[in-house]
Amino acid sequence: MMTQRPDTNQCIFDIGPLTAEKYRQLIMQAGTVIWNGPVTARVDRHEKSASRNEVIIQAMEVVVTA
């Protein structure tokens, strides 16, 4: 929930660290995961965004190799 307007030099990402952790927990419990690609915008340009995708990717790797 946005509580204030972002400054013009700020980026808005699709998910934050808490959501990434929640997704990781759900993936670890899932029997099947269908993934349609990155959950955050412009992954190649934003380190924070990329790290949130990494949390999800690592969880999926654990599930797939289990």
Q: Is residue 11 part of a domain?
A: no
How much is the pTM? 0.59
Residue 34 resides in a domain? yes
Residue 3 lies in a domain: no
Query: Letter for the amino acid at 39?
Result: V
Per-residue pLDDT reduced to its tens digit, 14-27: 677 888 889 899 98
Instruction: Fill in the amino acid letter for 61.
Output: E
Q: What's the domain count of the chain? A: 1
Q: Rounded distance, CA 3 to CA 39, Å? A: 22
Residue corresponding to tokens 């808005």:
12
Q: State the residue range of the domain holding 30.
A: 17-65
Q: What angle do CA 63, 55, 11 make, to 5 degrees?
A: 150
- pLDDT digit string, tens, across residues 42-65: 545 556 556 777 888 888 888 877
| Mean local confidence (pLDDT), 34-49 | 63
